[in-house]
Structure formats: C-alpha cells, structure tokens
Structure 1
C-alpha cells in the first residue's frame, strides 16, 4: 500500500481583471503529493525527525514548529525564522530538501500545476473548476502509479482543504471517470486502486504533509522566479528533489510536472 501526503501552493480562485491587484487570487495553483510505501513509513518518519533535529541544531528552528516554504522566503509573523537572514533561511530550505531527498530516496513526488494566466483547461466563471480539474488530474496520476506498481492500493492524506468537494470527486471517479482518447472521444476508467475517502490532516501535526508544502512552494519559485531571490538560488531549490520526482506522470515535462 502507498500513502500520498498532499499540500498545495497558491489557491484555486479565478483571476479577475476587474479586481485590484491586491485582491487577486494567486496566478498559480499547485498540488504536490509525497508518495510513501507503507513498509517505509516508520523509517521515513524517523528520518524526518532526525532532519528536524539537525535543523534545530544548525539553525535553531524548533522541532515542533511547522515548516512552511512560503514562510522561509517571507517569514512574516514567524518569530523563529525572523531571527535568520534571507541567506540562512535559504540554506535551511536547501538543507531540508537535500536531506529529505537522500533519506526518503524510495519515495516519489507527484506535481500538478495550473497557470491561470495561460490555462490548458476550459476555464469558466466558476472558481471551483480549477480545484476540481487539478484534483481530478492529480487523483488520476496517483491511480496510474498504483496500477503500474503491480496494482497496489493507496490512500490520500491531504492538508485541510475543500474536504467535501474532494471526497465527492473521488467517489464519482470510482464509478464514472471519462478519460480523453488521443484522437478524440473518451473512455471510462473508474478509479479502483485508491481506497477510502481522502483523509484531511492538520499540516502542523504531520511532517509528511510539511514535506509536500516545502516542495510545492519550491516548484512555485522555480516556475515564477523573482529577481530579488535569484541571487540566493531560490528558483533552483526544486531541482534538489529531482531524484524522487514521479517523472512518468507527464510525457511532456522532463521532471514529470503535469501542467494544466
């Protein structure tokens, strides 16, 4: 069995040109899932605890505090991070992703990215469409992974999100799941390998969900680089996890990122 821990970067709101820039939703929406085999779970949890202890020793970051990628870049009200300058926070980010990739080397990371300014899906005024379409593709890629690994079963653990919508979507996909054919039309391929409803977790209480948060934000920084951060190589952080990326998730992206 495989457990997939999911977090997101950005939000699923539709861009509205009539709104003030400060009221606009994010230009992106990213879903990231850390896929862990049940036989590796205990070993990987111990590894994450050791990694966090090392961050406390080197950077003074409390082991029980939640680790969020966005706060490492802009600490805002995070007092523990505000004591570190930008260079040190970037080094902490680097050390975490590098250590995670080395210690959780049999895990796989699935990424789905929506660029709202240049979407590849059919957008409407219903802001829920972005979330539903992204999750549908996300669930399907996890299902594909499970089938290719000897028809394994899997379960989804997600940071607190739109639980009702995601639960209904997965239940629907178990009965009716139209898949586009290469040359038009669709065929139904009901989801069979993902068991139970998605389980919602408070990211503060899950090191695994925090890993997904860190990777999701690093992907955002890679896809939408900002000049002031390039001197610290923030846009290159995501490449540290390249060895564990689920590259078969996309045939058009070398790192397996599914762009919608």
Structure 2
C-alpha cells in the first residue's frame, strides 16, 4: 500500500481576491516506510524545539512562519529563525523521505479562463499518482488531504474511476484510462494533527515562493528552497519541465 498526502497553495476560484495560481503538492509514501518516516519527523521536530524553541505539538504552517496571522505561538520566535525553520525543514525532507516521491501541479489561473481550476489540478494529480501506482509501485494507494472541498474531490475521483480520457500519443484521439489503483475516497486529516500534512504544506508553499518570488523576502533566499527537493521529485510527471512540475 502507498499513501499520497496532499496540500495546496493558492485559490482555485476566479474572483476579485483570488490568487493568480493554484498549486497541489503530493508526497507518496510506501506503507513499509511510514513508521520510519514518522520517527524521523519526530526527531526533526525535537531538533527544531532545541534550536528554536518551537514546541513539538505546535503546527508547522509555512505561510504563518513567514507572516503570523493565527498561530500566535510563533510570536516568541523572531522572523529570521521562523524562516530558518522552513529552510531546515526543506533540507531534511529529502533525507527523511528518501524512498518517497513528490508530485507537483502548478497552474496559473489566467492561462485557463474556461476551466474549473480545482478539477483540472486534481485530475492531473490523481492521474499521475495512479500511473505511479501502476507502473512504478505496482501497488494500490490511498489519498489523504488537508482542508479542501472534499465532496467535490470525492465526486471527481469517483468519476475518474469510470471515465478518464487521456490524449493518445499516436493520433488526435483519446483513450479511457480509469484510475483504478487508488482505493476509497480521499480521507481528510487535520493538519495540526499530522506531521505528514505539515510536510506537504511546506512543499507546496515553497513551490509557490519559487514560482512567485516576493521582493521583500528575497533576502532570505526562499525562492531557492524548493530545489532542495530535486532528489525525490517525480520528474516523469511532466516531461516538459526539468523538475517534473505539471503546468498544464
């Protein structure tokens, strides 16, 4: 069994205050590696407590570490050290999850004026996860998500189990490739109760910082942190991108 933990960055809606992007990052972990990964995450969190004073039970939330809105416990840690927590996390992820793979979807909303961005991004992610399960893992898998539109995602996944048209490489047509290696509907997990969901939150946010670097944060080098994940990126997810990021 394999597990795909997923978190998002940005807003799939199209309204006045929506973000210009929608990102999904998924971390694939084999069942046999899960316990060791959790143990290593706990060790990392102990080191964060020793070095920065962040309690092991306090959620790591990437955007809050950069700019505090809700997690007031972060106020005891100065901003430079909060960003260093993110940098340390980015450095550790390829070692903690050395046998895992990361899939990334990054869509610029303006490039898909007619599309449902939520469905488009999730269909791309589920398709690539199912392909990985069939061709690489030769196994079945589950999906665990943080806070998202779970009913809409459930309906999308159920539809893709039956009908999932894929463009043919040999002609202008398509063929049906149901995503039948993903079991059950997606499971929701509160991020403050899961180190794994917190990990994909960091991955997704650092991809956002890479794609849309903010001038005021450039002095911290946040736009370079995502590249640390290169050893475990599923680059076959997109042949058109050197890091395998799916952009269309």
Within 5 Å, give how 1:1-260 maps onto structure 2: 1-14=1-14, 16=15, 19=16, 24-117=17-110, 119=111, 121=112, 123=114, 129-182=116-169, 183-260=171-248
What is the deviation of 1:112? Answer: 0.5
Unaligned ranges ≥5, structure 2: none
Q: What SS class does the counterpart of residue 174 from structure 1 fall into?
A: helix
Deviates more, 1:81-90 or 1:219-228: 81-90
The C-alpha deviation readout for 1:92-151, integer Å capped at 9, x for no partner, is 11111211221221111111011113x2x4625xxxx11011101110010111111252
**Unaligned 5+ residue runs, structure 1?**
none
User: Are the structure 2 counterparts of residues 174 and 224 from structure 1 closer, same or farther at C-alpha, using a change threshold of 3 Å?
Assistant: same
* Deviation, structure 1 residue 80: 2.7
| Equivalent-residue separation in structure 2 for 1:77 and 1:198 (angstroms) | 27
Calculate the TM-score normalised by the size of structure 1: 0.91
**Conserved? CA contact 1:250–1:256, under 8 Å:** yes
Distance 1:100 1:195, change over 3 A: same
TM-score by length of 2: 0.95
After TM superposition, give the deviation of residue 76 of structure 1 in Å: 2.4
Is the contact made by 1:51 and 1:100 (CA closer than 8 Å) also made in structure 2? no
The answer to whether the 8 A contact 2:53-2:77 is kept is no
Which of 190-199 and 96-105 deviates more? 96-105
- How many Å apart are 1:5 and its aligned residue? 0.5
Which segment is superposed worse, 56-65 or 73-82? 73-82
> Residue 114 of structure 1 aligns to a residue in which SS?
strand
Aligned length: 247
**1:81 offset after TM fit, Å?**
2.0
Q: 1:56 to 1:192 in 2, by over 3 A?
A: same
SS in structure 2 at match of 1:113: strand
Q: Deviations over 1:176-225 (max 9, x none)?
A: 11112244221111111111111111111111011000000000000000
What is the RMSD computed on CA atoms of the aligned residues?
1.3
CA displacement, residues 20-63 of structure 1 (integer Å, 9 cap, x when unaligned): xxxx1111110111110000000001111111111111001111
List structure 1 segments (4+ residues) > 6 angstroms apart after TM superposition: none
